[in-house]
Amino acid sequence: MTPVDSILARLTALHPKRIDLSLDRVQRLLAALGNPEKRLPPVIHVAGTNGKGSTVAFLRAILEAAGLRVHAYTSPHLVRFNERFRLAGELVSDAKLAAVMEECERANDGHAITVFEITTAAGMLLFARHPADVLLLEVGLGGRLDATNVVDDPLATIITRVSIDHIDFLGDSLEKIAAEKAGILKRNVPAIVAAQARDALAVIERQAARLNAPLKIAGEDFTATEERGRLVYQDENGLLDLPAPRLYGRHQFENAGLAIAALRATSRFKIPPAAFEAGMVKAEWPARLHRLTQGQLCDLAPAGSEVWLDGGHNPDGGRAVAAALADLEERVSRPLVLIVGMLASKDCAGFLANFTGLARRMIAVPVPGAEKGLSAEEVADCGRGIGLSATSRDNLREALEAARKLELDPPPRILITGSLYLAGEVLRENGTEPA
């Protein structure tokens, strides 16, 4: 166990709930730390249900290509907790993270606080103490009461696609969830919003109007579309003809468009066209339609097969992944084999329904170490219930062995999906941790 792991274990005991949305506890701790949130580099704040991390990845790649120093705070991590904190482009070291976590632990003085809240405070200390030109701040859950929502005057806010997820914490309707996401909007601060369902967009528009926040909506104020294999972006300031995003899938054109729109909406940075071009081809975001080409798990897959990894876990995320796989199928036809693990809190049937008619076989596995994971047989039953040919295995290695025994011709396209926790385990076992 690393020093960071030991500190996290102690902090977990400070609050009985893993998720308990509130700003009171984090604001109290930040005050005890001297309010580092008031000394941050300029912030771009990103909320939404799907696409937050990919949008941050595009922002970071473009800004770094322009020669700027970029901090980033994202969650959850896949393998190592350090992945949540990037200081001027580099993952924070174990020693530096352990030191700042211990400082927050002392300042908290045993008061009730969630792990996300205290680690957000630790991030604020790190980001305030290390120079950078911009901080990319990803919401953990929701927005209005998320621990990241302590920044009063960001450069811009972004809301990616809003869909049904985390209903226990955000509400059981699209309007309620959109209201929580819209809680990050700030007075007179540009707000860049993905194309939304009508009910969700209406909620966001009302909040923007109350705050006089200039609103730029995808499909209305700017477009980012695929044309002849390239990304064509257009807004009131003109057109950019860019390479296709390195991150695969039609939905990544939308996420890239949000990043471009946010940077063009603020006068803080003058981004040259070459940086937008470089950002498209350099952006990296592991476990989001991520093709694994080498590693220990890849070696277990059927000879000649493709292995893809995606942490999608809700119906809207599944829809985007399935659409991308359908595009792949049109280009190079292969039988699709799903390896799926999911948490009990997710809409298993809603997620898997996107793959009916597309997947040849499904192999269910448990999510290692998950507190509320579905058993492999429960996931398999869910798949069978919506018409997928499903079996179960005890772990990833057995699932890949089962895929090999199918002896499909041509060799299959394997997608491992259903949970970011499962995706992290894949990267760990494969020996391809994020760097």
The residue to which tokens 């699709």 are assigned: 336
The per-residue b/e assignment along 47-63, b for 16 or more CB within 10 angstroms, e otherwise, is bbbbbbbbbbbbbbbbb
Q: What are residue 191's DSSP bridge partners?
A: 157, 215
Sign of the torsion angle spanned by Cα atoms 393, 308, 347, 356: negative
240 or 434: which carries more pLDDT confidence?
Answer: 240
Confidence of residue 4 (pLDDT cuts 50, 70, 90): confident
69-92 pLDDT, tens per residue?
999 999 999 999 999 999 999 999
Task: Decide if pLDDT at 169 tops 90.
Answer: no
The residue to which tokens 């277990």 are assigned: 300
* Count of beta carbons in the 10 Å neighbourhood of residue 433: 13
Where does CATH 3.40.1190.10 sit in the chain?
3-282
Is 265:282 a contact under the CB 8 Å cutoff?
no
Question: Given 3.40.1190.10, 3.30.360.10, 3.10.129.10, 3.30.565.10, which CATH number is that of 3-282?
Answer: 3.40.1190.10
pLDDT score, position 368: 92
pLDDT score, position 165: 73
Is 39:388 a contact under the CB 8 Å cutoff?
no
Average predicted confidence (pLDDT) for the chain: 95
* Count of beta carbons in the 10 Å neighbourhood of residue 370: 17
Mean pLDDT, residues 348-361: 97
Least confident stretch, 10-14, 315-319, 340-344, 397-401: 10-14
Where does CATH 3.90.190.20 sit in the chain?
290-430
How far, in Å, CA of 167 to CA of 49, rounded?
11
pTM (2 decimals)?
Answer: 0.95
How far, in Å, CA of 94 to CA of 126, rounded?
13
Where do runs of H (alpha helix) occur along 269-395?
273-282, 315-331, 348-352, 376-385
Confidence of residue 56 (pLDDT cuts 50, 70, 90): very high
30-46 pLDDT, tens per residue?
999 999 999 999 999 99
Nearest to 61 by CA among 243, 238, 313: 243
Nearest to 58 by CA among 253, 268, 309: 253
Q: Which two tokens stand for residue 419?
A: 């949970």
CA 145, distance to chain mean position in Å, is 18
SS3 state of residue 368: coil
Pairing of strands 85-87, 90-91: antiparallel
pLDDT score, position 412: 98
Is 81:115 a contact under the CB 8 Å cutoff?
no
Mean pLDDT, residues 104-126: 95
Q: Does domain 290-430 have CATH number 3.10.580.10?
A: no
Q: What are residue 396's DSSP bridge partners?
A: none
Task: Decide if pLDDT at 1 tops 80.
Answer: no
Q: Which two tokens stand for residue 110?
A: 């045993």
